[in-house]
Amino acid sequence: MKKVYQETLQSFIDLILPRLCFSCRNYLSQHEKGICIECIVSLPFTDHFNYSNNALHQQLSLQLSLEHAVALCYFNKEGLVANLIHQLKYKKQKHIGTLFGQWLGEAILKSSNFSTIRGIIPVPLHSKRKRERGYNQSEIIASAVSEIIQKPVYTNYLKRIIDTPPLALADQSNRWKIIKNAFETQASLKKTTGHFLLIDDVVTSGATLTACAKTLLEHSQIKLSIAVVGYRF
């Protein structure tokens, strides 16, 4: 009886405030959340969780000593994933981050490579940028992952101390110069040990993730893995 009431109520709400797919803008059924089945099927999911030595791990390991590195999806500038990430970051569509985080968390939970994870560290925004946007999209993704894998999120371990210009506007050769000193760690992290997961929304050149990971690894005794939603290569 309760289920029938809930479905009737949802149908009434959908009639007044129809729920649309974040991607194609078609109507969602009662059982669809955020993104319709057709768009989910078309998402370019990676096979990173099946292969430790995947392309992202190879790319980031050129400068870092990582346990593992994975991306949920591939993306390009004009594709579906890029469109969804844009809505998450600039259109206040925080539910997209939650949905991607849930999918990412489920993939992590199924992989034995991440069974020793002790906690999650989201890539931080500078305080000015966070005030302007109202939230940090990486924290939203990390929180959703946390709920799935039942590990805590540590937002105070890593801080962005320099408000750098968007790296997308810089050429490849200058990105590392811009970002390399932009982060610092909390003093208490020095004595912390264990396997932690660094999470961000996307990776392109890898400069931001590399700067974060270097800062964490140089000022602590932790082991580090990386997980992102989108990977452009």
Q: How far is CA 200 from CA 17, 30, 130, 191, in A?
A: 32, 30, 15, 24
Give the number of other CB atoms < 10 A from CB of residue 112. Answer: 7
Q: Where are the domains of the chain?
A: 1-42, 43-231
How far is it, in rounded angstroms, from Cα 231 to Cα 76?
8
pLDDT tens sequence for the chain (233 residues): 555 444 444 444 444 456 899 888 898 988 888 899 999 999 999 999 999 999 999 999 999 999 999 999 999 988 999 999 999 999 999 999 999 999 999 999 999 999 999 999 999 999 999 999 999 999 999 999 999 999 999 999 999 999 987 777 677 778 888 898 999 998 888 889 999 999 999 999 899 999 999 999 999 999 999 999 999 97
Alpha carbon distance 213, 183 (integer Å):
10
Determine the straight-line distance between the first and last CA of the chain, rounded to whole angstroms: 51
Q: Thinking of the domain 43-231, which architecture would CATH place it in? A: 3-Layer(aba) Sandwich (3.40)
The whole-model pTM stands at 0.89
Phi, psi of 184 (to 5 degrees): -140, 160
The answer to whether residues 81 and 229 touch, using CB atoms and an 8 Å cutoff, is yes
Do 211 and 183 meet the contact criterion of CB atoms below 8 Å apart?
yes
**What is the identity of the amino acid at 38?**
E
